Amino acid sequence: MRLLTAAITTMALTLGAQAAVAAPVEIKFSHVVAENTPKGQMATKFKELVDERLAGKVEVKVFPNSQLFGDNKVLEAMLLGDVQMAAPSLSKFQKYTKKLQIFDLPFLFKDMAAVEKFQNGPEGRELLNSLQKKGLVGLGYLHNGMKQLSASDPLKVPADAEGKKFRIMTSDVLQAQFEAVDAVPLKKPFSEVFTLLQTKAIDGQENTWSNIFSKKFFEVQPYITESNHGVLDYLVVTSAEFWMGLDDDLKVEIQKALDEAIKHGNAIAAEKASSDKQKIIDSKRSEVLTLTDAERAQWVEAMKPVWKQFEDQVGADLIKAAEASNN
């Protein structure tokens, strides 16, 4: 009997010791774009750095191309603990905060340098905390780039967009932006855009060069207007519950790896904004249209009133700070 007790005790101790060697923390990173994009490359880099530095402690699994969750589901899934990290575009957070709508205001940032300046300034840093009350933690911004307009017909002046159906992300600002030129905006997930364009269920969409290239939108959109009318950037997020449950030193290491991966992704974003545009031009599948100053001024005049429409929700001071980053 004593022997049996001893054996059971030994077994229990061994099992206990095995359990004490805790399984690695799993980070499922879900995103909607292709792997050869700034976000795809950032996520891959993050995984590599974590594998290198935190082997056995943290394991990152990346799910690209809406494989795990599409745009509209990923944040809900995160709050349920089914996914630990994602980097939705800043346009996809309006259910959680109205403040991030600032990034959708048309013609607010003149280029990516201005976006970077604003994000790194006090107001931009503060916005990272704007999701806290909803149980989400902003871990950092990631660039993609300036958006262009693609369509089945040439778009040179706002009147050309009249009555045309455009896919937009789930953003009321983007809806107002297209309504301002009498177009018909439709909120649709990223994963559906190619088919919607191919079947001509919609006439056009707005996106960055890398998304237009990597998802082959240029093959089904004969015209792309280089409008640079808005920005498409991301917020890397996690859930407060997951983040707060991590040991402090692990948090520091994960954040460090993420910051480095973001730097890497940002460099790729800058590079792809010109190389993917060039690949599209070289493909001859789509004609890239440039605007004269007078044509561009017409788009600005038509779309800029959207700022006023959202001033109460976003905050006049925040808009001023963003404008100031252009100088």
Residues that bind ligand LMR (CB under 6 A): 32-33, 39, 71, 89, 144, 169, 190, 207, 211
CB of 178 to ligand LMR, least distance (A): 14
CB of 131 to ligand LMR, least distance (A): 17
CB of 75 to ligand LMR, least distance (A): 13
Which residue's CB is nearer to ligand LMR, number 70 or number 135?
70
Strands 136-146 and 231-239, sheet pairing: antiparallel
Which residue's CB is nearer to ligand LMR, number 253 or number 276?
276
Which residue's CB is nearer to ligand LMR, number 25 or number 148?
148
Query: CA-to-CA distance for 25 and 59, rounded, in angstroms?
Result: 6
**Residues in a beta bridge with 223:** 151, 287
- Tell me which amino acid residue 271 is: E
CB of 272 to ligand LMR, least distance (A): 12
CB of 143 to ligand LMR, least distance (A): 11
User: Please, is 209 exposed, middle or buried when counting C-beta atoms within 10 Å of its C-beta (0-12, 13-18, 19+)?
Assistant: buried
Q: In degrees, to the nearest 5, what angle opens at C-alpha 121 toward C-alphas 48 and 87?
A: 35
CB of 27 to ligand LMR, least distance (A): 18
CB of 71 to ligand LMR, least distance (A): 6
Whether the CA torsion 172, 176, 178, 182 is positive or negative: it is positive
- DSSP of 300-320: HHHHTHHHHHHHHHH-HHHHH
Q: SS3 for 14?
A: helix
Which residue's CB is nearer to ligand LMR, number 54 or number 168?
168
- In the chain, at which residue ranges do the beta strands (DSSP E only) sit? 25-30, 58-63, 85-86, 136-146, 148-151, 165-168, 184-187, 204-207, 223-225, 231-239, 287-289
Which residue's CB is nearer to ligand LMR, number 170 or number 239?
170
Structure tokens at 36: 């050869």
Instruction: Yes or no: say if 173 and 102 are a contact pair by the CB < 8 Å rule.
Output: no
Which residue's CB is nearer to ligand LMR, number 44 or number 157?
44
Query: CA-to-CA distance for 208 and 222, rounded, in angstroms?
Result: 16
Instruction: Yes or no: say if 141 and 119 are a contact pair by the CB < 8 Å rule.
Output: yes
Query: CA-to-CA distance for 257 and 264, rounded, in angstroms?
Result: 11
Which residue's CB is nearer to ligand LMR, number 71 or number 253?
71
Which residue's CB is nearer to ligand LMR, number 142 or number 291?
142
CB of 123 to ligand LMR, least distance (A): 22
